[in-house]
Amino acid sequence: MAVSKGFRVPGSAFRVFGRAANAEPGTRNAERLHDILDKKLLKECVHCGLCLDYCPTYRVLGHEADSPRGRIYQIRQVYEGKISADDPDFREHIYCCLDCRACQTACPSGVQYGAIIEAARAIAEPISPSEKTVGRAILGTVFIRKPLLDAAGLGLRLYQRTGLQGFLRKSGALRVLPPRLREMEAMLAPAQGGIRRWAAPQVSPARGPVRYRVGFIEGCIMPQLFGDTNAATVRVLAANGCVVFSPPKQGCCGALQMHTGDRQTARDLARRNVDAFDGLGLDAIIINAAGCGSTLKEYGHLLHDDPTYAERAAEFASNVKDVSEFLAAIDLVPPTTPVPVKVTYQDACHLVHGQGIRNQPRQLLRAIPGLELVEMKESDVCCGSAGIYNLTHPAISVELLEQKMDHVLATGATGIVAPNPGCTMQLAYGARRRGVDLQLFHVVDLLDMAYRSGFRVPR
Ligand code: SF4
Ligand code: SF4
């Protein structure tokens, strides 16, 4: 981290670090920030510092500039044209944030930190080459074009399923790769299913009498790597009397693009999804990935100034439900097949902090006969995955992962339940780093097992 001398924030008792205080005042980016961020949101921060101990980057780095309060202060400086958003220190502190929103949950003043940091990223370019390449180039091209994403997913599944990955890993041939690429390869989670990806049918019938008509958002990473979980989601919904619609024109939700500052692409993707689900007369639009759900629920805000889409986007957003949120709110068909596993639950940041969903996944897990749920310490602290953060800030990410693995292993659980693909991949990587055999589940994977008679937990 290029963090240097501290400076005192006028009128307050804390210090902000970095060169930002000496930077040339800038107005160009301030004007862009005025267009997308209401100053009221910045003023809501009263600098009390009650969020600091909940902030993973502050806990790891110990710098005010890498705390929620410090970042809000710097963003306000940009808003007022006192520093430039092009300042390298500003950009570094803004992109060092995990966007985990733990500060948002902790803040007694109700500061909407997520909206603030994403607006700041929309005007500040990332610094590191990997952030630019992965964040802007790959997310802004491959993820928005289904054929390209399918080709990339197929390549990955072939790499794993043909045994090439195992051979290269064992033979040591991967040592020729540059260190960053080697780390990225080591993080690759084993894709579920076979070579062909599972695609949700356009319409899946309810099992038994129809109780609800729901839409299902397949996601971008989920169908490529977690096709079994997507299939389990549809089966669990059908078992609860849902007709499930999965329109083929839907696509990536735009969450990763939002988190990396590519607001324009995120808006285009939001419009595509609003159109795809239009006119289906749905009771809810279901998503099983926490990071996506958080962004889908923000479509109303994202498109509030688009005269063609503002109203439909707000309606779409109000209909979005995380699968655990939906199932916990209906009269759940009781699962009857015992699933004898001892699991611990990792709260995904964008479920617990982004959407305020904490009890619902636990309620569903406790409904499964034979399943033992043991709580880990700090289950709602980020595991270090955070979108592409584990690629762009590997040192901090691994430090958070190692702390998380200590807490997981202290429970004696043999499996971890995580409601987001990023967390699942990160925790699987953490288990491989420790050389421990831990199973990774989504809540719906376990519910699906409990709805199938004579089912045995696979090893
Ligand atoms: S974000 Fe909230 S908790 Fe943190 S310093 Fe500002 S007002 Fe206090
Ligand atoms: S979003 Fe997370 S990492 Fe960023 S300031 Fe808030 S608590 Fe810290």
For residue range 150-178, list pLDDT tens digits in order: 888 899 889 888 889 888 888 888 888 87
| Residue 126: per-residue pLDDT | 80
Residue nearest to ligand 1 atom 4, measured at CA: 51
Per-residue burial over 126-161, b if 16 or more Cβ lie within 10 Å, else e, is bbeebbeebbbeebbebbbebeebeeebeebbebbe
CATH assignment of 6-127, among 1.10.1060, 1.20.120, 3.30.70, 3.30.700 = 1.10.1060
Q: 106, exposed or middle or buried, with CB in 10 Å at 0-12, 13-18, 19+?
A: middle
CB of 415 within 6 A of ligand 2: the answer is no
Q: Please give the distance, rounded to the nearest whole angstrom, from the Cα atom of residue 423 to the centre of ligand 2.
A: 16
CB 339 within 8 A of CB 446: yes
Integer Cα distance of 52 and 38 in angstroms = 23
- Counting from 1 in the atom list of ligand 2, the atom nearest the Cα of 382 is 2
pLDDT at 92 over 80: yes
CB of 99 within 6 A of ligand 2: the answer is yes
Q: Please give the distance, rounded to the nearest whole angstrom, from the Cα atom of residue 103 to the centre of ligand 2.
A: 6
Q: Please give the distance, rounded to the nearest whole angstrom, from the Cα atom of residue 112 to the centre of ligand 1.
A: 10
CB of 380 within 6 A of ligand 2: the answer is no
CB of 404 within 6 A of ligand 2: the answer is no
| Residue of 309, 347, 320 lying closest to 423 (CA atoms) | 347
Is residue 7 very low, low, confident or very high in pLDDT (cuts 50, 70, 90)? very low
Q: Where are the alpha helices (DSSP H) in 297-354?
A: 299-302, 310-319, 323-329, 349-352
Is residue 456 very low, low, confident or very high in pLDDT (cuts 50, 70, 90)? low
Residue nearest to ligand 2 atom 2, measured at CA: 100
Residue nearest to ligand 2 atom 4, measured at CA: 97
pTM comes to 0.89
Residues with CB under 6 A from ligand 1: 45-51, 68-69, 72, 103, 106-107, 109, 111
Integer Cα distance of 322 and 286 in angstroms = 6
Residue nearest to ligand 1 atom 7, measured at CA: 45
Residue nearest to ligand 1 atom 2, measured at CA: 107
Integer Cα distance of 161 and 256 in angstroms = 27
Q: What six digits make up the tokens of 289? A: 């990935």
The residue assigned the tokens 């939906």 is 326
Region for 377 from its dihedrals, namely left if φ exceeds 0, alpha if ψ lies in -120 to 50, beta otherwise: beta
How many CB atoms within 10 Å of residue 374?
13
| Residue 28: per-residue pLDDT | 66
CB 246 within 8 A of CB 200: yes
- Counting from 1 in the atom list of ligand 2, the atom nearest the Cα of 99 is 1
Of the listed ligands, the closest to the CA of 58 is 2
DSSP state of 174: G
For 126-149, what is each residue's pLDDT tens digit?
A: 877 666 666 666 777 777 888 888
| Residue of 18, 24, 69, 78 lying closest to 47 (CA atoms) | 69
Question: What are the sequence ranges of the domains in the chain?
Answer: 6-127, 334-450
Q: Where are the alpha helices (DSSP H) in 97-178?
A: 102-106, 113-123, 129-130, 139-141, 146-161, 164-171
For 238-292, what is each residue's pLDDT tens digit?
A: 999 999 999 999 999 998 888 877 888 999 999 999 999 999 999 999 999 999 9
CB of 56 within 6 A of ligand 2: the answer is yes
Average of per-residue pLDDT across 185-208: 89
Residue nearest to ligand 1 atom 3, measured at CA: 107
Residue whose CB lies within 8 A of the most ligand 2 atoms, among 99, 294, 382, for a mutation test? 99
Fold held by 334-450: Rossmann fold (3.40.50)
CB 287 within 8 A of CB 323: yes
Q: Please give the distance, rounded to the nearest whole angstrom, from the Cα atom of residue 242 to the centre of ligand 2.
A: 37
In this structure, of 20-29, 196-205, 278-287, 389-398, the range with the lowest mean pLDDT score is 20-29
- Counting from 1 in the atom list of ligand 2, the atom nearest the Cα of 51 is 7
Q: 433, exposed or middle or buried, with CB in 10 Å at 0-12, 13-18, 19+?
A: middle
Integer Cα distance of 324 and 446 in angstroms = 12
Residue whose CB lies within 8 A of the most ligand 2 atoms, among 66, 103, 259, for a mutation test? 103
For 49-62, what is each residue's pLDDT tens digit?
A: 999 999 999 999 99
- Counting from 1 in the atom list of ligand 1, the atom nearest the Cα of 69 is 5
Q: Please give the distance, rounded to the nearest whole angstrom, from the Cα atom of residue 114 to the centre of ligand 2.
A: 9
What is the overall mean pLDDT for the chain?
89
CB of 381 within 6 A of ligand 2: the answer is no
Residue nearest to ligand 2 atom 7, measured at CA: 55
How many CB atoms within 10 Å of residue 113?
26
Q: What are phi and psi of 294, to 5 degrees?
A: -60, -45
- Counting from 1 in the atom list of ligand 2, the atom nearest the Cα of 57 is 3
| Residue of 344, 331, 341 lying closest to 369 (CA atoms) | 341
Residue whose CB lies within 8 A of the most ligand 1 atoms, among 43, 51, 76, for a mutation test? 51
Q: Please give the distance, rounded to the nearest whole angstrom, from the Cα atom of residue 108 to the centre of ligand 1.
A: 7
CB of 61 within 6 A of ligand 2: the answer is no
| Residue of 226, 210, 225, 228 lying closest to 449 (CA atoms) | 228
Q: At how many degrees (to 10) do helices 113-123 and 68-79 cross?
A: 50
Is residue 387 very low, low, confident or very high in pLDDT (cuts 50, 70, 90)? confident
